[in-house]
Amino acid sequence: MLYWLLAPFIDDTPLRLINYLAFRGAGAAVTAVLLSFLVGPPIIRRLAAMRVQQGVREGTPESHRVKAMTPTMGGLILLTAGIVPALLWTRLDNPYVIVALVVTVWMGGIGFLDDYLKLRQQREGHANIAGLVERYKLAGQISIGLLVGLLLWKVPLSALPGASTSVPFFKYILIVPALPVLEWLYVLWVTFILTGVSNSVNLTDGLDGLAAGLSAIALVTFGLFAYLMGRVDASAYLQLFYLPGAGELAVFCLALAGACTGFLWFNAHPAQVFMGDTGALALGGALGAIAILLKSEFLLLFIGGVFAAETASVILQKAVFKYRRRRFGMDHARAHRVFLRAPLHHHFELKGWKESQVVVRFWILGILCAFVALTTLKLR
C-alpha cells in the first residue's frame, strides 16, 4: 500500500528507498514488532476480562497447572501485527502476496472459530471441551488447500509448470506428474502441505514461546529464499529457479517474523497470553503457503525440522500404541510407550528438563535446521 501511495513522490528523493525489497522488508519487520507492543496489552487485558482461557488438558505435566488462568486466543495479536504491516509494505498487486495473505487469514479464521467454540463450551459447563469438531476443522483446511492447488495448477505464477515442485540439493530439477492426466495430484499435494503444516505448528504450540520462536526462524529463512528466487542475478548465480515477483514474499515473511518476535514479548515464559489455534493455524498456513509458492515444499523438512519432528513423534506414538494394544493388550501398550508423552517437547519436560530449557534448545535446533536449509543454496 505504501508503495502505491508514495510512488508519485519517490523520484530523486529519499523515498525511492521504497523500491527496494530490503528496505520494505525491514520496515515491515519493525512495524510488526512495534504494532505488537501497541496492540498486545489491550488485547491481553480484554481476553483476561472475558476469561478466554483454554484450561489444562488431562495428562499435561504438573508444571502447566499454573497456566490454567492464562488467556488464550493471543493469535489476534499475531494476526493484527503481521497482516497490517504486510498490507502496508508489500505490493498488493502481487499474486504471491495475495495467495499468502488469503491462506493466512483463512487458517487464522478456522483457529479463531475453534478457540471461540472452546470458550463457549467452557462457559456452558461442557464436560468435554473440544472446540470446533475435528472433521469441520479439517474440512476448512482441506477446502483452502483444494482452492489454492487448483489456482496454482490452472494459473501458474511463473514460467514453471503449475503442477511442479523443486528438489533441494539438485540444480534445476522439477518433480512433475508423469502424465498430464495425473496433474490433479498436485492439488492433493498442496492440500496435504497446507493441512499438514498448519496442524504441525499447532501441535508444537505447547510451551511458552516455542511455536512463535520457531516460526520466526522459519519465516526469516523462507524470506531469504524468496528474495533470492525473485532476483534474476541471484537465482542465476545460485542456480535456483527464477520466480518473477516472488521477492515480495520476503516482505511478507519479515512482517510475520516481526509479529512473532513482538508476540514473544508477551508469550515468553511465564506467558501472559497463548496464541491458541488462532495464531498457530495462521502461522502454519503461512509457512505452508510460502513453501508452495516458492516450489520448495521439500525445504520444509529442513527449515521446519523441529515442526516435522514434533509431528512425527505424535504419529509414531499413536501408531505404536495402537499396534501394541492390539497385539499385547492395553496394559502393555500403556507401559511401553515410545515417548513419555507426545508431542516431543512434553517428553523432554517429563524427562526433567525445565520448560525454558526445552524452548531454548528447540530454538537452537530450529536455527541449525535453518542453516542446513541454507546449505542447499550452494550444495547442488
Task: Break the chain into its structural domains and give their ranges.
Answer: 18-301
CA–CA separation, 191 and 369 (whole Å) = 24
CA–CA separation, 102 and 132 (whole Å) = 21
Contacts of 305 (CB under 8 A, 6+ apart): 365, 366, 369, 372
**What Å distances lie between residue 377 and 225, 365, 372, CA to CA?**
9, 20, 10
Task: Report residue 68 as a C-alpha cell.
Answer: 490454567
What is the model's pLDDT at position 20?
Answer: 84
Contact 275, 114 (CB under 8 A): no
Written as tens digits, the pLDDT of the chain (380 aa) is: 666 666 666 666 666 777 789 999 999 999 999 999 999 999 999 998 887 776 666 556 666 666 777 888 999 999 999 999 999 999 999 999 999 999 999 999 999 999 988 888 777 666 666 778 889 999 999 999 999 999 999 999 998 988 899 998 888 888 888 778 788 999 999 999 999 999 999 999 989 999 999 999 999 999 999 999 999 999 999 999 999 999 999 999 999 999 999 999 999 999 999 999 999 999 999 999 999 999 999 999 999 999 999 999 999 999 999 988 888 888 888 888 988 998 999 999 999 999 999 999 999 999 999 999 999 998 87
CA–CA separation, 143 and 134 (whole Å) = 14
Angle, helices 248-267/210-229, rounded to nearest 10 degrees: 170
Closest CA to 219 of 164, 294, 111: 294
